[in-house]
Amino acid sequence: MDRFRVAILGTSFGREVQAAGFQRHPGFELAAVAGSDPAKTRRIADELGVAGAYGDWRRLLEEVRPDLVSIATPVDLHHPMMLAALEHGAHVLCEKPTALTRGQAAEMRDRAAVLRRVAGINHEFRFLPARVHALALTRRGGIGVPRRGEILGRYATWARPESRGMTWLSRRERGGGILGALGSHHTDCLRLFFGEPVSALASVRVDQPARGTGGQAGLATADDACTVHYTFARGATALLDLSACAPYRWERFEIHGDEATLRWDERGERLWRIVAGQEPEELVIPEEHRLATRPGEPMLLAPFGVIVERLFRALRGEQPMEPDFGDAVAVQSALDAARASSDAGAVVPVENPAPGAASG
């Protein structure tokens, strides 16, 4: 097949990034969108030039029967949506965090495998140019033996109560929180450099619980800050420290080896190599790692385009999907361990369910 019909469930990130990504690729036709507000969904579909607009995602699956379903909704809907899409014959791309628990994530992975569907997870941060080059250098021995990772993030998401009203992002039972929203991406990053984490020691907390004003006011139950210390099988360690209560946005990524350190900026466009006693050296990122960006477009649209191309090739049977649901389950397992560690005040092992364990 040369062209696949895709439906997007979700009208926020699904509208801002995913719709443009699929519509730019000649191998996909955006056939329908679904959202919780029927009027808003119809308006968005009209803006996109898409015929199908649904307030009921189950009806969309029944009537449209898309080849691919892209799930970009609140986290608590990922599990039922993906299982239903698979049963309706669709392949699936799922947003992160994958699910509410590693058990749900494993069931999603295993069901896709049984039904022989392509199942991808949208870790598009993997394809930011500086990170791609840093990983290639590390794997070639460019920093010696990798032994430590540090990812620091400061975000103004909930700097003050009026910064953002009470939504699903502030509710733990719906899968909200900064650990899932960005910690999932950063955990996936650390896995690529160091392998799978084997334990976590974490503080996952709500530092600024007030959300919104007036009718949108409420108290958050989902984390707005987290500090996670991972240990890896070969002895490496990593620190992930995020706060969504800062008055500014800033991120720093560092991978330390026994010979040098690699550091890249938050947009993933600039990379430095640092050796003890020397000034940081900015590295030239090879052309093959660069992304085709357009002025004024969302930062994540270009790396999402890499995901779309990989999906296309996987659907045509030309190559396996990467990142896949093995990655999704591994990241979810690490996030679960971090939350369990925070609740227990102790080191907790990362338990990654083996394929087939969810249905066995």
User: pLDDT (tens digit, 9 = 90+) per residue, 117-131?
Assistant: 999 999 999 999 999
Distance of CA 256 to the CA centre of its chain: 24
Three-class DSSP category at 5: strand
pTM summary value: 0.96
pLDDT beyond 70 at 71: yes
Quick one: how many helices (H) and strands (E) in the chain? 11, 17
What burial class does residue 334 get, using C-beta atoms within 10 Å of its C-beta: 0-12 exposed, 13-18 middle, 19+ buried?
buried
Comma-separated ranges of CATH 3.30.360.10 domains in the chain: 126-284
pLDDT tens digits along 209-223: 999 988 779 999 999
Torsion, CA 207, CA 210, CA 212, CA 214, rounded to 10: -170
DSSP SS3 for 74 = coil
Which pLDDT score, from 0 to 100, does residue 356 have? 87
Residue 97 pLDDT > 90: yes
Cα separation of 64 and 90, whole Å? 11
Share of the chain above pLDDT 70, in %: 99
Q: Per CATH, which fold does 126-284 belong to?
A: Dihydrodipicolinate Reductase; domain 2 (3.30.360)
| 333, 352 Cβ separation under 8 angstroms | yes
Neighbouring residues of 320: CB distance < 8 A, sequence distance ≥ 6:
314
The answer to whether residue 359 scores a pLDDT higher than 60 is: no
* Residues across the chain: 360
Q: How confident is the model at residue 253 (pLDDT cuts 50, 70, 90)?
A: very high
If you average pLDDT over every residue of the chain, what do you get?
A: 96
Where in the sequence of the chain do the CATH 3.40.50.720 domains occur? 4-124+304-322
List pLDDT tens digits, range 258-284.
Answer: 999 999 999 999 999 999 999 999 999
CA distance 142 to 103: 38
* 220-241: pLDDT as tens digits: 999 999 999 999 999 999 999 9
Is residue 358 predicted with pLDDT exceeding 70?
no
pLDDT of residue 2: 85
The answer, yes or no, to whether residue 293 has pLDDT greater than 90, is no
Cβ contact 307:120 at 8 Å: yes
End-to-end CA distance of the chain: 34
pLDDT tens digit string along 164-212? 989 999 999 999 999 999 999 999 999 999 999 999 999 999 999 999 9
Which CATH homologous superfamily contains domain 4-124+304-322? NAD(P)-binding Rossmann-like Domain (3.40.50.720)
Q: What is the mean pLDDT of residues 95-115?
A: 98
Tokens 């020397």 label which residue? 278
